[in-house]
Structure 1
Amino acid sequence: MDAIFIIEQLLNGLGYGFMLFLLAAGLTLVFGIMDTMNLAHGSLFMAGAYIAARVHESSGSFAGAVLIAILATVLIAAVIEILIIRRLYSRDHLAQVLATFGIILLADDAVKAIWGPSPIMAPTPPALAGPVQLLDALPYPSYRLLMIAAGLLVAIGLYLLVNHTRVGMLVRAGASNRAMAEFMGVRVGRVFSFVFALGAALAALAGALMGPISAVQIGMGEAILIPALVVIVIGGIGSVRGAFVAALIVGLVDTAGRAFLPPLLRAVLPPSLAADLGPAMAGIAMYVLMAVILTLKPAGLFPARA
């Protein structure tokens, strides 16, 4: 295990963390402001991945595919918000979980009917197919660097939006005290619709960017939804800053655990035991991290209502 391998895995962890941030930022805003638990957020991630993969395959334009995926996913989210989510605002979290879980089942069946049950591999843009020589012995995939850059740019954009615009002021007011924001004349319905659309756009962007490095398949939204929920719990529900910090921590811990724990265990344990114990310990690393952080800070690292 040399320094080049460690640096490469840390970069992989950053890339994964930024993709988790794109998904968790929208989810934490929806939950923090609208007080609505939307389990179907992962389905929007899946929709973005499928639409981008198919459009890119047919048109050959990666940038155009990502843009169309974002617009189409926002449109889908708007329909879901108008027909279903608005009816859940005044309901308890159990009703929201059950209803949005039903949306997951419908979304999976819809994808199966439209694109079939088999996974697909989204093509990597030809211009980003080769490596970039970061160091003498470290060629790193240029597409993964694009993911890191995209996540960083979105993080900066969200920071400016939330902290330096009137829209961001309304979003922060809703996250801190929704009832008081209503009393002050804020049109909460419009804020809710904007936040839901923004979350859908971020989920679609994450799905479109993840497509070329992972299989685009039915159920991929549910698989990444669990780490995203871990991120918003660690960071503090409703906090974009918390989602950013927590996503990078979870991304690094998860990637480092899967890359470093198995070889370390093989060095000190019998091979058969290490083969079973290594992947299991790597899989629970982020949950152990969540338990430790919540023991020290039950409201998360940066709670929006602190």
Structure 2
Amino acid sequence: MDAIFIIEQLLNGVGYGFMLFMLAAGLTLVFGIMDTMNLAHGSLYMAGAYVAAKAHQASGSFLAAILVAVAVTMLVAAVVEILIVRRLYRRDHLAQVLATFGLILIADDLVHAIWGPSPVTAPTPAALSGPLEIIPGLPYSSYRLMMIAVGLLVAIGLYLLVNRTRLGMVVRAGASNRRMAEFMGVRVDRVFSFVFVLGAALAALAGALMGPISAVQIGMGEAILIPALVVIVIGGIGSVRGAFVAALLVGLIDTAGRAFLPPALRAVLPPSLAADLGPAIAGIAMYVVMATVLAIKPQGLFPARS
């Protein structure tokens, strides 16, 4: 295990962490600011991946596919928010969980009806298909470097939006005391609709970017939802900064564990057992971290209302 391999896997973990951040940031805003548990958030991620893959195949332009995927997903999210989610804002979390779980089943069936049961191929853009030598002796995927750059830009933009703009101030005011904000003339319903659609856009962007390096298939939203929930619990519900730190932490733990544990275990265990046990331990590790954080800081590393 040389230094080049270690750096490459750490970069993979950072890239995966940024994609988790884009998904978890939207989820933590919806849950933390609107106090609404939206289990169907992963379905918006799936929608972005499917639309981007099909748009890329049809147009040949990766950038156009990203824009179409984000726009279509935002439109779908706006319709869902108006027809269904808006009615859940004042309901308890059990009603929200049951309703949004039903949306997951509907979304999976719709994808099955529109695109069929087989996974869809999401092509990698030709301009980013080759490696880029970032340091001597370390060629690294230019597509994954682009993912890291986009994730970093989204993190900076989201932080500035929430903490440095009037719109962000209004969002925080509506989340802190909805009735008082309404008395002051804030259209809280419109603010919450904006937050929901913004979360959908981030989920669609993450899905569109992950498509070329992962399977675009039915159920991919549910698979990524669990790590995203772990991220917002570790970081602190409603905290963008917490989601950023926790997403990078989970991404590095998961990726590094799957890359480094099997070779290390082969030194003391049979190769077949090490190959199975290493990824299993890596998968458990993020839950161990979550349990540890909850035991020490029940509100997460960076609680939004601290």
- TM interval, shorter chain, is over 0.9
Q: Flag structure 2 segments of 5+ consecutive residues without an equivalent.
A: none
Q: Flag structure 1 segments of 5+ consecutive residues without an equivalent.
A: none
Report matched runs for 1:85-234 at 5 Å: 85-234=85-234
Structure 2 SS opposite 1:39: coil
Q: How much does 1:180 deviate?
A: 4.1
1:165-215 Cα shifts (integer Å, max 9, x gaps): 100111222344444434443221011000001000000000000000011
What is the CA–CA distance in structure 1 between the aligned matches of 2:143 and 2:272, rounded to whole Å?
36
What is the CA–CA distance in structure 2 between the aligned matches of 1:282 and 1:181, rounded to whole Å?
45
Deviates more, 1:128-137 or 1:184-193: 184-193
Report matched runs for 1:285-296 at 5 Å: 285-296=285-296
Q: How many positions carry a matched residue from both structures? A: 306
What is the CA–CA distance in structure 2 between the aligned matches of 1:274 and 1:20, rounded to whole Å?
27
Structure 2 SS opposite 1:305: coil
State the superposition RMSD in angstroms: 1.2
What is the CA–CA distance in structure 2 between the aligned matches of 1:12 and 1:38, rounded to whole Å?
28
**TM superposition score normalised by structure 1:** 0.97
Structure 2 counterpart of 1:84, which letter? I
1:110-159 Cα shifts (integer Å, max 9, x gaps): 00100010001200000000000112221100000010000000011111
Structure 2 SS opposite 1:139: strand
1:69-103 Cα shifts (integer Å, max 9, x gaps): 00000000001001100111111111100100000
**TM superposition score normalised by structure 2:** 0.97
Q: How much does 1:264 deviate?
A: 1.1
1:267-298 Cα shifts (integer Å, max 9, x gaps): 12344543442222111111111111111111
What is the CA–CA distance in structure 2 between the aligned matches of 1:156 and 1:144, rounded to whole Å?
19
Report % sequence identity.
Answer: 82
CA contact (8 A) 1:121 1:214 kept: no
Q: How much does 1:266 deviate?
A: 1.4
Displaced runs of 4+ in structure 1, greater than 6 A?
none
Distance change in 2, residues 1:254/1:179 (3 Å): farther
Structure 2 counterpart of 1:104, which letter? I
